[in-house]
């Protein structure tokens, strides 16, 4: 389950968004100032279709989240927490900057498409300049047996900026079980681009199509 902090941030965000909608219709709704202070409202987050969760042969579970970040004002992202319904201990990976290809299991990524180190070092966002890429993480708890290849699993992300404001988003990740992990491309270093589509999908991904078990 998402952490208490993630649940609170999501509740606050829904309250704020509803109040703004009502205000646009001429209905006044009070939003506590302390809520507005800690909600990272200048940030829009879209989740792309390359978002997936899959078993590695080591038994570790890999999380690959494709995001598009767009800020309405200049801000610096300093942290990203991640949790799934079965694992609150998911950790973002750190990579060696000197290596030309970064690996998560058998799959290789170009450093230019991975946001992990940039977030760790403080990712600067500027108004009207979207930042797109992948967030890679791992967890020790296995994917539930009822989640079959091709099904969807919710992964919660909580972004935090330098002012301790937070933004919560839920990503629906495609599940790939262990028997499919070995069929993923060993090295994939081409740069990818993404565009928003209703705040959920960005573009057609290049993951192998899941096959029914």
Q: For residues 9-34, give the mean pLDDT.
A: 58
How do residues 195-213 score in pLDDT, each as one tens digit?
Answer: 333 333 343 333 334 444 4
- Predicted pLDDT at 95: 96
Between CA 5 and CA 158 the distance in angstroms is 9
Query: Structural domain of residue 115, as residue ranges?
Result: 4-181
Residue 213 forms part of a structural domain: no
Please give the structure tokens belonging to residue 185: 């491309």
Residue 125 forms part of a structural domain: yes
Residue 105 forms part of a structural domain: yes
What total number of domains does the chain contain? 1
Residue 101 forms part of a structural domain: yes
- Predicted pLDDT at 65: 97
Residue 207 forms part of a structural domain: no
- Predicted pLDDT at 90: 95
Between CA 26 and CA 101 the distance in angstroms is 53
CATH number for the domain harbouring residue 160: 2.60.40.10
- Looking at per-residue pLDDT, the higher value among 198 and 22 belongs to 22
Lowest mean per-residue pLDDT among 7-21, 95-109, 197-211 = 197-211
Q: For residues 68-94, give the mean pLDDT.
A: 94
Residue 78 forms part of a structural domain: yes
Has this prediction a pTM greater than 0.95? no
Residue 208 forms part of a structural domain: no
Which conformational region is residue 68 in: left (phi greater than 0), alpha (psi within -120 to 50 degrees), or beta?
beta
Residue 94 forms part of a structural domain: yes
Instruction: Show the 3-state SS of the chain.
Output: CCCHHHHHHHHHHHHHHHHHHHHHCCCCCCCCHHHHHHECCCEEEEECCCCEEEECCCCCEEEEEEEEEEECCCEEEEEEEEEECCEEEEEECCCCCCCCCEEECCEEECHHHECHHHHHHCEEEECCECEEEEEEEEECCCCCCCCCCCCEEEEEEEEEECCCCEEEEEEEEEEECHHHHCCCCCCECCCCCCCCECCCECCCCCCCCCCCC
């Amino acid at each position: 389950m998402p952490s208490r902090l993630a649940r609170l941030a999501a509740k606050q965000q829904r309250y704020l968004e509803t109040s703004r909608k009502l205000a646009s219709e001429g209905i006044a709704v009070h939003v506590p100032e302390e809520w507005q202070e800690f909600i990272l409202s200048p940030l829009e987050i879209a989740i792309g279709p390359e978002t997936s969760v899959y078993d590695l042969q080591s038994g570790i579970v890999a999380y690959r989240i494709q995001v598009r970040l767009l800020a309405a004002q200049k801000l610096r992202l300093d942290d990203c927490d991640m949790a799934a319904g079965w694992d609150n201990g998911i950790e973002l990976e750190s990579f060696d900057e000197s290596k030309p290809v970064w690996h998560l299991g058998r799959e290789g990524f170009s450093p230019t498409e991975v946001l992990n180190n940039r977030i760790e070092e403080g990712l600067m966002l500027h108004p009207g300049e979207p930042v797109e890429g992948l967030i890679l993480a791992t967890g020790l708890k296995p994917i539930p047996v009822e989640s079959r290849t091709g099904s969807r699993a919710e992964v919660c992300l909580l972004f935090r900026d330098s002012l301790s404001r937070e933004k919560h988003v839920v990503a629906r990740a495609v599940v790939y079980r262990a028997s499919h992990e070995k069929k993923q491309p060993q090295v994939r270093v081409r740069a990818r681009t993404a565009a928003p589509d209703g705040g959920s999908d960005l573009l057609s991904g290049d993951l192998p199509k899941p096959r029914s078990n």
